[in-house]
Structure 1
């Protein structure tokens, strides 16, 4: 009997494994159909669409302790100030970026870096390899005097530590002469200059050390001491403007904790702007808990972003958020790429990290955290100006969406950890 029972159990396991395989295959097939359909819909919607210039809420300034802060909402303005800073550099330039387009604006930055290096400025440039696969290698004609690191998606010892030796270099930082730093959502490209709404800040003061140090950490990992970026002491031990940098090479991911700590402290309002909203369960629960205790939680996302798959995966959270009292604002004027938040008129952050799994748990990211009411007031002005171009999503409207949309959202749920 025991032998028969063993054979029966083996048959049951085989049946279950076969069923699981069929189920997994069916799910993958359904996901492929949904993704292909969404890509087709996106192509059709974009076909022949005229690109409009993005609204520009303005440029705002604040003095926070020893830091002079400027908030940019226009690509044209921030690019001109970045290029001016590069052209006026006296001894050093450190730049890290995600996308560097091979277009007119990209060429201006390339030429400015080469000119600076040729006049004796020490120039270090880091850019992401995967994000720029479509840009011909012939575009990146750097002077021999420019120190360049094109970050590969997978580094050679990947098999030793998949988390440490992978990750996109999603940071966008420029540091000039260890005195002036720029950070935010703007990549380098002409399209972002006029057609995207994004947010960047310039900091002149002690927080520049944190921006420089995050670049140096990435650069120095595989460098000999002779080719490393030298360490410099910080100007202030406890500044009101603080830099948080995700560094996968060190398995360090502070930005997620920064957000959760700030949200947990909220008493009045939480206003978040992110282009891709795909939170993990803890972030989601923290936001819902805040709304439950009466905090005004508003999340602004693009109505239609540049990644339709991310949009649809994000839609899978809307019902729970709306039922939990969270306000969802769909920015309709253009693609909005800002990664910002402001809480209770006291705390704010501007940086490169989206509220999604890739940014908070995988990529190289850099955010600046500011605890100051004057700066928060300026950030609220930006959020309210952007809100004028938003459609508020309501629970009845969301509940009445097409049943096939619900099916697609459900099929895409397993993709959340990958986006």
Structure 2
């Protein structure tokens, strides 16, 4: 794989400096099993299985939870788990999931589900001000967890005649699950300085051992309120320490100045960089803004591929067929500075190779390669102006993103 399509232009593979080795190994749990989950039916089937098999606890936290067909499937599974004595904690974001009706929430609570909207720092009777809960995670029995970019709504699920949005998650069991359980509890409790005794440790001790687990996994969080920028640092580490290539699959790709500088420096030292972006976006303004920076990417010898299936919503990046980061984090200022984001970094060469193979297939079968000639041919002066206006507008949205009107419940 390292000599395959994603291999870098430079054939020299220098040994990593000690400081790089230290950075790349910091914070990892050692004994984990991992599975790469492509979104759609595979993701929701795995989620429903986790809930149905839970014996002690379920934590589900997400940005969007709709009371549509897919949301009802998940909600019914949560209610059934609560009725059989499982402690079920459900927390959607207070803004993105404000469409949830009172009867829908009441039925969850009557079934025994502990339900709470995530609320940011400052709130009144009429509005919120703060950050949004953007991560997507489910943890069951402090034994299994799944982290990714998928919300719980119809457009992320495969249905007859409908292809789900392209998104991904990682399923894990092992040491990392205890940390993820603790994160869920802290989020549920509002991140107090002291959370007291948590059930995670006891549940984890009850879980059977998993011989042969070998994947190294670390939890990465971005949360400006708690001064955590771990996912941003993972991406910077990836670009600074790459030896041959980096593959980025991202929706809403609008990197800030620091990230663009690191991209440019990596490309200049011979790192082959490929970026898989949306061809069709649910937010046209964001897509127009993305296309404004295509010129810059191509000038820096960064390859661009636009996905031609449905909407691309995934957030995954792989480095050197060695390690990857996956989760809810988009490469833009809103994810970097305004939302609570959750990723997992997975250091496992076999796992990374499998993910790269998935990306190779997507590029070959479902993408178009955006070249400079194509861009010049399709770009008019008017389009260029629209893209520039969109880029400037999106840059300013971070200041509005933390303010929204409150839903009564």
TM bucket, shorter chain: 0.7 to 0.9
Q: What CA deviation, in whole Å up to 9, does each residue of 1:290-312 have, x standing for no partner?
A: 11111110111111111111111
The 8 Å contact of residues 178 and 200 in structure 2, kept in 1 or not, is answered as no
Q: Which residue of 2 aligns with 1:196?
A: 165
The 8 Å contact of residues 166 and 248 in structure 1, kept in 2 or not, is answered as no
1:206 alignment partner, one of 160, 175, 181: 175
Pairing 1:147–2:125 present: no
Distance 1:299 1:339, change over 3 A: same
- CA positional deviation for 1:91: 0.7
- CA positional deviation for 1:317: 1.2
Determine the C-alpha separation between the residues in 1 that align with 2:225 and 2:124: 11
Determine the C-alpha separation between the residues in 2 that align with 1:189 and 1:351: 17
Structure 2 unmatched ranges of 5 or more: 1-28, 159-163, 399-409
Q: Which residue of 1 aligns with 2:11?
A: none
Determine the C-alpha separation between the residues in 1 that align with 2:132 and 2:315: 17
Find the residue that maps to 1:142 and give its secondary structure: helix
Q: What CA deviation, in whole Å up to 9, does each residue of 1:196-230 have, x standing for no partner?
A: 11111110111112222222221122779899854
Q: What CA deviation, in whole Å up to 9, does each residue of 1:18-62 have, x standing for no partner?
A: xxxxxxxxxxxxxxxxxxxxxxxxxxxxxxxxxxxxxxxxxxxxx
- CA positional deviation for 1:101: 1.4
Distance 1:310 1:228, change over 3 A: farther
Identify, as 1 or 2, the structure richer in helix: 1
Determine the C-alpha separation between the residues in 2 that align with 1:368 and 1:381: 19
- CA positional deviation for 1:417: 4.5
Find the residue that maps to 2:131 and give its secondary structure: coil
Structure 1 unmatched ranges of 5 or more: 1-63
Pairing 1:232–2:201 present: yes
Provide the alpha-carbon RMSD of the alignment: 2.6
Find the residue that maps to 1:124 and give its secondary structure: strand
- CA positional deviation for 1:118: 1.8
Find the residue that maps to 2:123 and give its secondary structure: coil
Find the residue that maps to 2:359 and give its secondary structure: helix
Find the residue that maps to 2:108 and give its secondary structure: coil
Q: Which residue of 2 aligns with 1:183?
A: 147
1:121 alignment partner, one of 60, 69, 86: 86
Kindly name which structure, 1 or 2, has the bigger radius of gyration based on alpha carbons: 1
Count of aligned residue pairs for this structure pair: 350
In the superposition, the TM-score normalised over structure 1's length comes to 0.78
Q: Which residue of 2 aligns with 1:256?
A: 232
Q: Which residue of 2 aligns with 1:321?
A: 297
Pairing 1:301–2:277 present: yes
Distance 1:221 1:249, change over 3 A: farther
Determine the C-alpha separation between the residues in 2 that align with 1:184 and 1:166: 23
1:398 alignment partner, one of 361, 375, 379: 375
- CA positional deviation for 1:152: 3.1
- CA positional deviation for 1:371: 1.4
Find the residue that maps to 2:326 and give its secondary structure: strand
- CA positional deviation for 1:395: 1.3
Q: Which residue of 1 aligns with 2:389?
A: 411
Q: What CA deviation, in whole Å up to 9, does each residue of 1:61-93 have, x standing for no partner?
A: xxx952111111142112112111111111111
- CA positional deviation for 1:151: 1.5
- CA positional deviation for 1:189: 1.7
Within 5 Å, give how 1:5-404 maps onto structure 2: 66-140=31-105, 141-144=107-110, 145-152=112-119, 155-156=122-123, 166-194=130-158, 195-221=164-190, 230=199, 232=201, 240-388=216-364, 389-400=366-377, 401-404=379-382
Find the residue that maps to 2:133 and give its secondary structure: coil
The 8 Å contact of residues 68 and 204 in structure 1, kept in 2 or not, is answered as yes
The 8 Å contact of residues 74 and 199 in structure 1, kept in 2 or not, is answered as yes
Find the residue that maps to 2:135 and give its secondary structure: coil
- CA positional deviation for 1:135: 3.5
Q: Which residue of 2 aligns with 1:14?
A: none
Q: Which residue of 2 aligns with 1:41?
A: none
Larger displacement relative to structure 2 (247-256 or 350-359)? 247-256
- CA positional deviation for 1:368: 0.5
Determine the C-alpha separation between the residues in 2 that align with 1:146 and 1:107: 14
Find the residue that maps to 1:70 and give its secondary structure: strand
Find the residue that maps to 2:96 and give its secondary structure: helix
Determine the C-alpha separation between the residues in 2 that align with 1:413 and 1:191: 26
Q: What CA deviation, in whole Å up to 9, does each residue of 1:330-366 have, x standing for no partner?
A: 0011112111010111111111111111112111111
Q: Which has the higher contact order (CA 8 A, sep 6+)?
A: 2
